[in-house]
Structure 1
Amino acid sequence: MFVLTMYVMLLTLDDYKPTYQDRLATPGMMIRPKGNALEISYNSEDTESWDLYVQALDNFLAPYNESQQIMNNKDCTPNTYFIQEDAGEIRNNPKRSCQFNRTVLGNCSGINDRYYGYPDGQPCVLIKLNRVIGMLPGKDDQSPYVTCGAKVNYSQPLVAVKFLNVTYNADINVECKINSLAIANPTSDRDKFAGRVSFKLRINKN
């Protein structure tokens, strides 16, 4: 009986879209590299202390290489939604995403500066929005943007934040929030990751 129940349930699952999902309308936010307990702490003069952060960013951005983007994704028209509708019972799957080349992240792309500013005390932190299926983030020609205590180089789907003039040997608490007309309540008191992310940055120097 259990096997039959599982079989029937599996028949209802969609290979490309979850059958059930929560009602969370506000996307969560997360940073890369994450570090331990959302804390990025290192010594700018100690390569071993920041090399793991650099490796984590390299691995995370690998799918954003131009060759991978051209191969897997579509070169979409800027400022236009790329909507791929199904034709009745004919499913338009698998759907393709728009290209996002890491070069748009500028000095935080890891191309011009392969160490993302970490040994110079000007580290890059990437902020990403967790996907909410079916959400169209822009509204009234306004794209969503993220604000936090750092310089934002690009806003969607990754935000590259480069910290400048960081005070050494001190804890810096950072909170980044999403602002979008398409989201009624961009932050939630019940979920600290809904529409925002907080982390601590500390750069030591001998």
Structure 2
Amino acid sequence: MAKDGEKSEWREFIWNPRTREFLGRTASSWGLIFLFYVVFYIFLAGLFALTMYVMLQTLDEDKPTWQDRLATPGMVIRPKADETFEIVYTVQKTESWDMYAQALDNFLEPYNDTMQLQKNDECTPDQYFLQEDSGDVRNNPKRSCQFNRSVLEDCSGFNDRYYGYQEGKPCIIIKLNRVIGLLPGNNGQAPYVTCGAKREDSDKIGELVYFPPNGTFNLMYYPYYGKKAQVNYSQPLVAVKFLNITANEDVNIECKINANNIPIGSDRDKFAGRVSFKLRININN
């Protein structure tokens, strides 16, 4: 009998025909609760929409309203086989260096002279290419300066399709990371790249040659206005060719940017403005 009584209590809790209550509440009570939550969630959704609308009014479609203004942009090299920044190959084994040549071909393809002529302007060297807005009137899309891969001469892939790798005189391409609004160099002094071996390998690096001459990033490629405002922007490049590096040994190399208004390294990032990599050229005797 006790069990039948318990079942009866559960049935009445779920639906009580005498009081017409469902789960202990009448229809009007459930209706008020449902109405409360509908109004509550509509209010939350409206508050969220209003917050998003106000926030979106502060955003600029072409550049970030707030950005971490890096004092020193990062540097990267090409080709880059993996995240270890190591270039290791054997001259006599084509398969060991062909991937590097192909990587440089792919990387430099957008810099072909014909493509640059079609989409970018021939700018005046040695001065910033400023394209300021006029009040609320946007000067968009902004133009970009040509960077022709032929400027890289022996490292352009035109005269030597293997970029010196088959001769044990490889080319490395260096570029600075993009920073919106960065104006590197004061008083007309353009930033330039220098490379050298780490102290323990200083006698192994041999002679280097830079393209363009002196490893310069010309001022006409700055400032950068952002991906949306300057859709055809071509980052300037510097190529370094190693002419007689010591073979069959690891050579640890560091390249850095030099400019009179760009500090090298910082408390936040000691590798800012520089890039280190290992180069090993094996020659079978």
> Is this contact kept in 1: 2:127–2:188, CA < 8 A?
no
Higher helix share: 2
**Residue aligning to 1:153:** 211
**Distance (whole Å) between structure 2 residues aligned to residue 143 and residue 172 of structure 1:** 29
Q: Identify unmatched segments of 5+ residues in structure 2.
A: 1-44, 197-207, 218-235
1:60-79 correspondence to structure 2 within 5 Å: 60-79=107-126
Structure 1 position 118, deviation (Å): 0.5
Q: Judging changes above 3 Å, is the alpha-carbon distance between structure 1 residues 12 and 117 closer, same or farther for their aligned structure 2 residues? A: same
1:127-156 superposed Cα distances (whole Å, 9 cap, x missing partner): 101112111112112111111123222222
The answer on 1:195 being equivalent to 2:253 is: no
**Distance (whole Å) between structure 2 residues aligned to residue 126 and residue 88 of structure 1:** 39
The answer on 1:173 being equivalent to 2:252 is: yes
1:36-185 correspondence to structure 2 within 5 Å: 36=82, 37-149=84-196, 150-154=208-212, 155-156=216-217, 157-183=236-262, 185=263
RMSD: 1.8
1:143-202 superposed Cα distances (whole Å, 9 cap, x missing partner): 11111123222222211100011211110100011110122x222354243110000001
Larger RCO, structure (CA 8 Å, separation 6 or more): 1
**Residue aligning to 2:73:** 27
SS at match of 2:89: strand
Structure 1 position 34, deviation (Å): 1.4
1:7-26 correspondence to structure 2 within 5 Å: 9-10=55-56, 12-26=58-72
Instruction: State the percentage of identical aligned residues.
Output: 67
Q: State the number of aligned residues.
A: 205
Q: Judging changes above 3 Å, is the alpha-carbon distance between structure 1 residues 33 and 200 closer, same or farther for their aligned structure 2 residues? A: same
Structure 1: which 4+ aligned runs deviate by more than 6 Å? none
Q: Judging changes above 3 Å, is the alpha-carbon distance between structure 1 residues 42 and 178 closer, same or farther for their aligned structure 2 residues? A: same
**Distance (whole Å) between structure 1 residues aligned to residue 189 and residue 122 of structure 2:** 21
